[in-house]
């Protein structure tokens, strides 16, 4: 995006990317091996133009390797990489329409903010007048113009992060790659900068590819998320889709807290499933679309906030089981419970919506209700 258009975009937020449209990044069947270890195993991915897309997973899952391949800093062993429809596999990093914001920010300590931001343009021999205009606009865009004459040692962590983003944006990339740019900041500042980063991406309308191991960060920022594990993509979906409808056990456990139940399918009937579980017979409604034999065992997940706790006399509804409160942990906005139902431990979470409500005490007998529409069938 030219800087004149970038300045206009900063004044008028663009709509979220549609489910259809041009692809900004495509990777097909990527493999990358390091010293006999497969870092990427057949990764294929399509990222839409103008999308805030996150690569989420634990350390060593391959997300940074994938980002470095997009940046041109690593080369895949096999596979295809396209950016804006162009095959860039053999294109060096400095000729790709991307820029990268690194975890360490990589600022030059002896240069001022202004000169750090202008450095790439000077290397490209952009005319001085154009450099000055573009640097001024991007400093205004990320709200650090008053800091232009400071050096990195005089900046806070959040200010350094803005300088790193400005230095990347001034080159007018089609895709901005961000390698855990908030991980070195304290929790409160990370939360504040999440909002700023998302707002900035919306204003610019360019594609952001964001690497993180922080589930909350990915959920808060992303249009879509690819969850990675051991060099493979487990699932790609919206934040809501991943959280509410995880496909695998790994996604369910990695993206937030959940309860897992090993069950045996009893009988599909009348639009629902009856399953045998350690908690007794449970109903799942609506019936999952997956073709699972009636004799096969399945794994179920349910989020703690979907578990309902009832007084002992309230347990006549379906999917209700008696339990005992083992632990009660008050955390301000919510109370977390650890419950025992026979040999099964269950986590529950309740919002503290009413002042002075004591909830349930440790040692108290309760009824645990697992709503039929809250139970998620996972692939094995």
- 36: CB partners within 8 A, 6+ apart: none
More confident residue, 172 or 111: 111
Domain final position from 187, 221, 246:
246
| Number of domains present in the structure of the chain | 2
Mean pLDDT of the chain: 86
Both 267 and 221 in one domain: the answer is: no
**Which CATH number fits the domain that encloses residue 328?**
2.40.50.140
123 lies in the same domain as 230: yes
Residue 148 lies in a domain: yes
The model's confidence at residue 20, banded by pLDDT at 50, 70 and 90, is: low
User: Is residue 251 domain-resident?
Assistant: no
Query: What angle, rounded to 10 degrees, do the helices at 3-11 and 187-204 form?
Result: 110
84 closest CA partner among 34, 132, 31, 25: 25
pLDDT tens for 225-281 read 999 999 999 999 999 999 999 999 999 999 889 999 988 777 777 778 888 888 988
> Based on the domain organization, do 139 and 281 belong to the same domain?
no
Q: Are residues 78 and 184 in the same domain?
A: yes
| CA 149 to centroid of chain Cα atoms | 35
Residue 230 covered by a domain: yes
**Does residue 47 contact residue 22 with C-beta atoms inside 8 Å?**
no
Q: How far is CA 181 from the centre of its chain?
A: 13
Give me the pLDDT at residue 77, please: 94
**Could you tell me the sign of the dihedral formed by the alpha carbons of 19, 53, 237, 257, in that order?**
negative
* 74 and 154 belong to one structural domain: yes
* Same domain, yes or no: 167 and 57: yes
Q: What average pLDDT does this structure show over 307-319?
A: 82
If one counts every other C-beta atom within 10 angstroms of the C-beta of residue 335, the result is 19
CA angle 10, 13, 17 (to 5 degrees): 125
- Pair type for strands 52-56 and 37-48: unpaired
Q: Do 241 and 285 reside in the same domain of the chain?
A: no
* Same domain, residue pair 328 and 231: no
Among 191, 217, 246, the domain-final residue is 246
> Do 166 and 267 reside in the same domain of the chain?
no
Q: 140 lies in a domain?
A: yes
Pair (138, 11) in one structural domain: yes
Q: Which residues, listed in sequence order, are joined to residue 17 by a DSSP beta bridge?
A: none
Q: What is the mean pLDDT of residues 332-349?
A: 93
- Check which CATH number belongs to the domain holding 16 and give it: 3.40.50.300
Has residue 55 been placed in a domain?
A: yes
**In terms of DSSP H, where are the helices of the chain?**
3-11, 63-71, 113-123, 128-141, 157-169, 187-204, 215-221, 239-244, 249-254
CA 293 to chain centre: 33
Yes or no: say if 275 and 351 are a contact pair by the CB < 8 Å rule: no
* Segments forming the whole domain that contains residue 84: 3-246
pLDDT on residue 162: 85
Q: Rounded CA gap, 371 and 163, in Å?
A: 49
**Cβ atoms 218, 208 nearer than 8 A:** no
């Amino acid at each position: 995006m030219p800087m004149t258009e970038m300045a206009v975009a900063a004044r008028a937020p663009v709509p979220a990317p549609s489910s259809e449209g041009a692809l900004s990044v495509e990777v097909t069947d990527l493999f990358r091996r390091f010293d006999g270890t497969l870092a990427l195993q057949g990764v294929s991915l399509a990222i839409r133009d103008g999308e805030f897309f996150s690569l989420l997973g634990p350390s060593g899952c391959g997300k940074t390797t994938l980002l470095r391949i997009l940046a041109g800093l690593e080369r895949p062993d096999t596979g295809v990489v396209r950016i804006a429809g162009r095959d860039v596999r053999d294109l060096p990093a400095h000729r790709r329409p991307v820029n990268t914001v690194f975890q360490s920010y990589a600022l030059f300590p002896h240069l001022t903010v202004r000169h750090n931001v202008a450095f790439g343009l000077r290397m490209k021999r952009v005319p001085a007048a154009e450099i000055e205009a573009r640097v001024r606009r991007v400093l205004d865009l990320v709200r650090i113009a008053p800091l232009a004459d400071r050096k990195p040692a005089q900046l806070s962590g959040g200010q350094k992060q803005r300088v790193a983003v400005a230095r990347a944006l001034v080159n007018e990339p089609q895709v901005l790659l961000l390698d855990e740019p908030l991980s070195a900041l304290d929790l409160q500042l990370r939360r504040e900068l999440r909002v700023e980063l998302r707002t900035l991406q919306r204003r610019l309308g360019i594609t952001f590819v964001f690497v993180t191991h922080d589930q909350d960060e990915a959920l808060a920022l992303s249009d879509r998320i690819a969850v990675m594990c051991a060099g493979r993509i487990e699932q790609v979906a919206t934040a809501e889709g991943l959280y509410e409808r995880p496909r695998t056990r790994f996604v369910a456990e990695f993206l937030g807290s959940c309860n897992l139940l090993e069950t045996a399918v009893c009988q599909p009937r009348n639009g629902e499933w009856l399953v045998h579980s350690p908690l007794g017979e449970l109903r799942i409604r609506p019936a999952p679309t997956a073709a699972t034999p009636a004799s096969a065992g399945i794994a179920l997940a349910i989020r703690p906030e979907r578990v309902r706790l009832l007084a002992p006399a309230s347990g006549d509804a379906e999917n209700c089981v008696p339990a005992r409160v083992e632990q009660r942990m008050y955390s301000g906005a919510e109370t977390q419970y650890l419950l025992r139902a026979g040999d099964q431990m269950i986590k529950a979470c309740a919002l503290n919506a009413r002042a002075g409500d004591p909830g349930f005490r440790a040692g108290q007998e309760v009824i645990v209700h697992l709503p039929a529409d809250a139970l998620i069938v996972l692939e094995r």
